[in-house]
């Protein structure tokens, strides 16, 4: 497709960041269509016609409309397979392993870190009170997840294998959030997890996403 990709959302959204960092890794130009979430624009037309669940981001590419950040990143990685970073292995076995860790991110890592992010980052931002009981519960869950990661990363440089893939990329937004809280201690106390986090958060594509937050 020769048409420009449009991404609807706001840089404050971790899901938006997940989709956009993929575009930067693939060196694909796109147009940002801001969605004013504070005004509730994500729950109204015209955005609701792009995502009936009223969540950012949404993507338009010609007549294609997508929502869900991981589906968007997978489409971008496949549509632009010959550009930028190769984010999906071509070997079927390596691809399967990367897919396992993409599922782990979505079902094990994201629910825990999203809850911690809400309590420790977003609640204070909105003037709400952090629930320490919830923090304690999900911190214990985070420890268990990171123990699994430490074991995996002692055997391979990245979660999906020896190369950076979507399995790693999908972690970036929530990992960055954790680094801004006392949860970073659990990262820094695990040498293989720490090395992995230092590596992937230093990627130029991610730096471009972080620059959007400061703009």
Q: Quote helix, strand, coil % in the chain, to nearest 5.
A: 60, 10, 35
Q: Are 69 and 105 part of one and the same domain?
A: no
Using the 3D structure, point to which of 22, 57, 84 is the last residue of a domain. Answer: 84
Q: For residue 1, what pLDDT is reported? A: 46
The pLDDT of residue 41 is 75
This prediction's pTM: 0.95
pLDDT in tens, 82-119: 999 999 999 999 999 999 999 999 999 999 999 999 99
Q: Are residues 31 and 107 in the same domain?
A: no
110 CB-near residues (< 8 Å, 6+ apart): 174
In this prediction, residue 2 carries a pLDDT of 65
Q: 203 and 109, same structural domain?
A: yes
**Secondary structure class of 194 (helix, strand, coil):** helix
* In a shared domain, residues 11 and 96: no
Domain-embedded: residue 214 = no
Tell me how far apart the terminal alpha carbons of the chain are, to the nearest angstrom.
30
Nearest partner of 8 among 48, 22, 26, judged by Cα: 48
Identify whether residues 71 and 39 lie together within a single domain. yes
pLDDT at 159: 98
Q: Say yes or no: 80 and 96 in one domain.
A: no
Judgement on whether residues 162 and 190 belong to the same structural domain of the protein: yes
Query: For position 206, what pLDDT does the model report?
Result: 98
Do 69 and 96 reside in the same domain of the chain?
no
CATH number of the domain enclosing 69: 3.40.30.10
Q: Report the pLDDT value the prediction gives residue 44, as an integer from 0 to 100.
A: 80
Check whether residue 138 and residue 175 sit in a common domain: yes
pLDDT on residue 40: 78
Q: Are residues 20 and 43 in the same domain?
A: yes
Show which of 34, 52, 84 is a domain's final residue.
84
Three-state DSSP at 208 gives helix
**138: alpha, beta or left, given left = phi > 0 and alpha = psi -120 to 50?**
alpha
Predicted pLDDT at 167? 98
Looking at residue 61, its pLDDT comes to 97
Which residues of the chain register pLDDT less than 50?
1
Q: Do residue 107 and residue 76 come from a single domain?
A: no
């Amino acid at each position: 497709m020769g048409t420009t990709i449009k991404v609807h959302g706001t840089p404050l959204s971790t899901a938006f960041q997940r989709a956009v960092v993929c575009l930067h890794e693939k060196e694909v130009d796109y147009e940002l269509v801001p969605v004013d979430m504070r005004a509730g624009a994500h729950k109204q037309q015209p955005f609701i016609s792009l995502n009936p669940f009223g969540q950012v981001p949404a993507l338009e590419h010609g007549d294609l409309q997508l929502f869900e950040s991981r589906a968007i990143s997978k489409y971008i990685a496949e549509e632009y397979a010959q550009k930028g970073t190769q984010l999906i292995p071509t070997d079927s076995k390596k691809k399967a392993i990367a897919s396992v860790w993409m599922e782990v991110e979505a079902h094990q890592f994201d629910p825990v870190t999203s809850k911690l992010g809400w309590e420790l980052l977003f609640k204070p931002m909105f003037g709400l009170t952090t629930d320490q009981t919830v923090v304690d519960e999900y911190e214990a869950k985070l420890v268990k997840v990171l123990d699994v990661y430490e074991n995996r990363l002692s055997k391979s440089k990245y979660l999906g294998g020896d190369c950076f893939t979507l399995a790693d990329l999908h972690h970036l937004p929530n990992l960055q959030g954790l680094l801004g809280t006392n949860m970073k201690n659990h990262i820094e106390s695990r040498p293989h997890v720490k090395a992995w986090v230092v590596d992937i958060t230093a990627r130029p594509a991610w730096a471009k996403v972080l620059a959007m937050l400061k703009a």
